[in-house]
Amino acid sequence: MPSARPLRNGSRSSHLPVGGGQPGGRRDRRDPPEDQKPEVRRDLISTKLIELEVPRERAVLVGAPQKGLLQQLADEHLEELARLTDTAGPDVVGTLTQRIDKPNPKFFIGEGKAEELKQLVAESEATLIIFDDELSPAQGRNLEEFVGTRVMDRAELILDIFATRARSSEARAQVELAQLQYLRPRLTRMWTHLSRVRGGVGMRGPGETQLETDRRMIDHRIARLKDELERVAQQRATQRKGREGVLRVSLVGYTNAGKSSVLRGLSGSEVFVEDRLFATLDPTTRAVEVGEGAEVLLTDTVGFIRKLPHHLVASFRATLEEAREADLLLHVIDSSHPGWEEQKSVVEEVLADLGLQESPVVLVFNKVDRLTHAEEEGLRARSQTYEGTPAVFTSTVEPSGLDPLRELLLQRVREMRPDVRITLSSSQGGVLAEIYREGEVLERQDNGSEINLRARLPASTLGRLRSRGVRIYGGA
């Protein structure tokens, strides 16, 4: 198979990302009313409207896997880059790969390969080159100069997707912070690029002074964004305080694994689900009933991906703080994806990065409806080897497909709120009220001066009542 191939048609299957622009035909609020407009010829206007359509960028993807990497994995990585590209907007018009030992300091790929890239870009009329690996600022600049086309790396592409998808002010601030941190060391490159595009007219050249002013402005903005995010983090911590005594569960996992679908399926509420990467950026929490009147608080959050830019992980800390505070993490896995094992490791690495390697985890093997019976059996056997980490098998599209997960959660709530027997004297009305308020009374018998209860109570309430001498049996 040749490693460089222009594609005849773009692999694009969907439209510009949500929020990427205004729907056509909407009137600008600043338009004067119809009767005040000068007379215009409608036929001219319609020609103009057609010309206004934004030309789609045409991207060539470049993968440079390590020499030892399995071919199947190398193909999957490039395939994933194509999905990321599609999510961001451009059409993929060609791909190029080179197996490398270590990156070439000048171009990342070898010089001969860079020459091949230049030809491919010319043949396929590409307007953009996207590398699967992170390029140093110098490598990016050298390649842009050599090929004469804009060059992006995977990190920049992911940042771009996050930027178009961020909705809340918190997510926007987090993405902007990560973008500025990425941009700062690359400022010279951006400047050269800009002056070439505009031909330098009306601009001072990319002189040191201007560059330094810009760096200072960026540093200033970075500091302000950090302050803003710190404030949000504190607000969140206060909100979380009100949730004690309820089992808090966080969904984590690779992007597109089905986290939001699980939340939607369990809570029965509308949660945004899409067959796109990074559909969710902001955390959503829902109270979910798991049977017998028991509730858990379930939080859905941003998905992970291979080589998630570290600036992004750092600036999404406040969002991911929800996962840190959880009593249980549900690691959702797309078991129908050929690369699920690698995706699982990536998620585990990011969790470790966030200091969450010790949190209790349940593996949720999702999308089992897409597996054959034999594949599912194989997976069940495999999951036995993850010692100490329980696993459930789910489908969000089949009726009852989430029952195993619901049962597991109910079991966890039971453990957290043990079933106990309590004997009170009829004068302990205050204690009785506390039990009704904080727990769930399952049985009650009033025998003259004594009240016998069977109740489910949070461990914290039980501890408090025991220390006050209340007679409690079981649940210790």
Instruction: Point out which residues bind ligand GTP (CB under 6 A).
Output: 253, 255-261, 273-275, 277-280, 303, 366-367, 369-370, 395-397
Closest separation in Å from C-beta 366 to ligand GTP: 5
DSSP state of 417: S
Which lies closer to Mg ion via its Cβ, residue 174 or residue 280?
280
Cα(386)–Cα(401) distance, integer angstroms: 22
Q: Of all helices (H) and strands (E), which one includes residue 144? A: helix 137-147
Which of ligand GTP, Mg ion, none binds 139 (CB below 5-8 Å, type-dependent)? none
Question: Which is nearer to ligand GTP, 179 or 255 (by Cβ)?
Answer: 255
Contacts of 200 (CB under 8 A, 6+ apart): none
256 part of the interface to Mg ion, by CB under 5 A: no
State the Cα–Cα distance between residues 260 and 255, nearest whole angstrom. 10
Tokens 């830019």 sit on residue: 309
Nearest distance, CB of residue 318 and ligand GTP, angstroms: 18
Of the pair 149, 256, the CB lying nearest ligand GTP is at 256
- Nearer CB in complex with Mg ion: 124/260: 260
Contact between 280 and Mg ion by CB under 5 A: the answer reads yes
The answer to whether residue 354 forms part of the interface with Mg ion (CB under 5 A) is no
The DSSP bridge partners found for residue 91 are 58
SS3 state at 58: strand
- Interface with Mg ion, residue 396, by CB under 5 A: no
Distance of alpha carbon 171 from alpha carbon 282, whole angstroms: 7
Q: How many CB atoms lie within 10 A of CB 304?
A: 23
b/e string for 309-320 if b means 16 or more Cβ within 10 A?
bebbbebbebbb
β strands within 45-113, DSSP E = 58-63, 91-97
87 sits near Mg ion (criterion: CB under 5 A): no
| Shortest-Cβ-distance residue relative to ligand GTP | 303
Q: Are 271 and 260 in contact (CB under 8 A)?
A: yes
Rounded Cα distance between 398 and 137, Å, is: 48
Residue 362 beta carbon to ligand GTP: minimum distance, rounded to whole angstroms: 16
Minimal distance, residue 302 CB to ligand GTP, in Å = 7
Site string for Mg ion, 213-252 (x = CB under 5 A): ----------------------------------------
Our finding on whether 255 is near Mg ion (CB under 5 A) is no
Nearest approach in angstroms of CB 394 to ligand GTP is 6
Least distance in angstroms from the C-beta of 280 to Mg ion: 3
Paired tokens of 476: 């210790």
Pick 282 or 295: Cβ nearer ligand GTP: 282
Q: In the 3-class helix/strand/coil scheme, how is 344-402 assigned residue by residue?
A: HHHHHHHHHHCCCCCCCEEEEEECHHHCCHHHHHHHHHHHCCCCCCCEEECCCCCCCCC
Contacting residue, 181, 260, 285, 315, with Mg ion by CB under 5 A: 260
Contacted entry of Mg ion, ligand GTP, none for residue 49, CB cut-off 5 to 8 Å set by kind = none
Nearer to ligand GTP, 149 or 395 (CB): 395
Burial of 370 (0-12, 13-18, 19+ CB in 10 A): middle
Calpha distance 248→285 (Å, rounded): 10
Rg of the chain on CA atoms, in Å:
28
Minimum distance between the CB of residue 395 and ligand GTP, rounded to whole angstroms? 4
Binding of residue 261 to Mg ion (CB under 5 A): no
> In the complex, what is the shortest distance from the CB of residue 167 to ligand GTP, in angstroms, rounded to a whole number?
13
Question: Quick one: what does residue 335 bind among ligand GTP, Mg ion, none, with the CB cut-off 5 to 8 Å set by partner type?
Answer: none
List beta partners, residue 153.
131
Q: Does 299 bind Mg ion (CB under 5 A)?
A: no
Residue 364 interacts with Mg ion (CB under 5 A)?
no
Name the 3-class secondary structure at 159: helix
Contacting positions for Mg ion (CB under 5 A)? 260, 279-280
